[in-house]
A and B are shown apart, each in its own frame.
Chain A
Amino acid sequence: MTGTTDNSEVRTDGGETGIVPPDDETPSWSERKERKQGLARTTYEYFERSRREDQDLRQQSDYIERDVLGFPTWPHEMIRNLALTSFFVGMIIFLAATLPPHIGAPANSGVTPPIILPDWYLYWSFGLLKLGPLNPDLALLGGQKLMADRTFGVLANLVVVGAIAIVPFLNKGSARRPVEQPFWASVGVFGVILSVTLAALSVKNLLPIDAHLTFDLTFLLPFVGAFITYAVLKSMREGYMFELNRRYYRLRPPK
């Protein structure tokens, strides 16, 4: 294979000890230390021998080999978790003692509040109900709208929730880092910023920004963020470390 022609000795693959010298020919430590030439070769032989001994031990024993990527639960992880838990519990006690929360007047169920809003994590859905300006006036209908603005808002909710609901059924591929899939990473950033700007749109009356500007920024900022993300990730791919790390990225089971 290497082009040497005088290698008449026929050898099988893997059956022999290969580079590993037999036990009776293994140099002692003092012999090894006396060697001044071929240190790289000696090192290679040493590691190959230790690897082979390790392999033999594994094959002889009934120990089930597993990749253990972690520390024992006790004491390592428990001590760490206790430290983290103590910190956060202490922080909660400290903040509760120094800055006790304001307790407002009880709600009056007989009066409709002046501002009606859902919980903050549903602001984006509430903002989708305020997309009336996007509801097109169709020329075919004589400038009339195909559906009412409120119907349009509910439909927008269905579209967004439907898109999110599809995600678990998509093949996500084997990429684990945004730099591997700049396009989909920028799509994700688009969605995150859109959820934030839609939440801002839902409370546009309370924002110190012009309502029309808020509406425009709601759909402009996600594109800006997505373009910046795509550019940054694409430029990161040009670097040396990405090419180096890609070999590591590929060390994973097939999808």
Chain B
Amino acid sequence: MADEFMKGFAIFVTASLGWLVVAGWYKTPAFEGPQLLGTYPESPDVFSQIAIIAGEGMFYFAIFGTLAFWVLVPAINEAREAYAERK
């Protein structure tokens, strides 16, 4: 259980850090104003497009990866144990 928590936590902090960097680069138009939650640039070049896609991916990976290890995997283990006891 503690291992599952640590895996989920590691995914959360690492992916969040990656999202933070990309959001700081592309979603912070100016210091004064919306930071990290602003709008993407109008016409990004290829490298910016790759970075933006990677940032979005890390955002959802931070959420669903954490949920997978904190909720999904323990639930599957519990269900498996319950199923084995029923048999």
Contacts and interface: CB of A to CB of B under 8 A. Distances in A.
Interface residues of B, number: 5
Contacts of A102: 31
Nearest to A104: B31
Contacts of A98: 21, 24-25
Contacts of B21: 98-99
Interface residues of A, number: 4
B75 to A, nearest CB: 25
B67 interface: no
Interface in B17-76: 20-21, 24-25, 31
Contacts of B31: 102, 104
Secondary structure class of chain A's binding surface, majority of residues: loop
Nearest to B31: A102
Contacts of A99: 20-21, 24
Nearest to A102: B31
A34 to B, nearest CB: 42
Contacts of B20: 99
A178 B3 CA distance: 27
B10 to A, nearest CB: 13
A102 B21 CA distance: 14
Contacts of B24: 98-99
A99 B20 CA distance: 9
A20 B24 CA distance: 72
Nearest to A99: B24
Contacts of A104: 31
A104 B24 CA distance: 17
Contacts of B25: 98
Interface string A90-129: 0000000011001010000000000000000000000000
A107 to B, nearest CB: 15
B46 to A, nearest CB: 20
A128 B84 CA distance: 61
A104 B31 CA distance: 9
A102 B25 CA distance: 12
B45 to A, nearest CB: 19
A20 to B, nearest CB: 42
B13 to A, nearest CB: 11
Nearest to B24: A99
A96 to B, nearest CB: 12
A98 B51 CA distance: 13
Given A98-B21, A98-B24, 6 more contacts: A98-B25, A99-B20, A99-B21, A99-B24, A102-B31, A104-B31
8 contacts: A98-B21, A98-B24, A98-B25, A99-B20, A99-B21, A99-B24, A102-B31, A104-B31
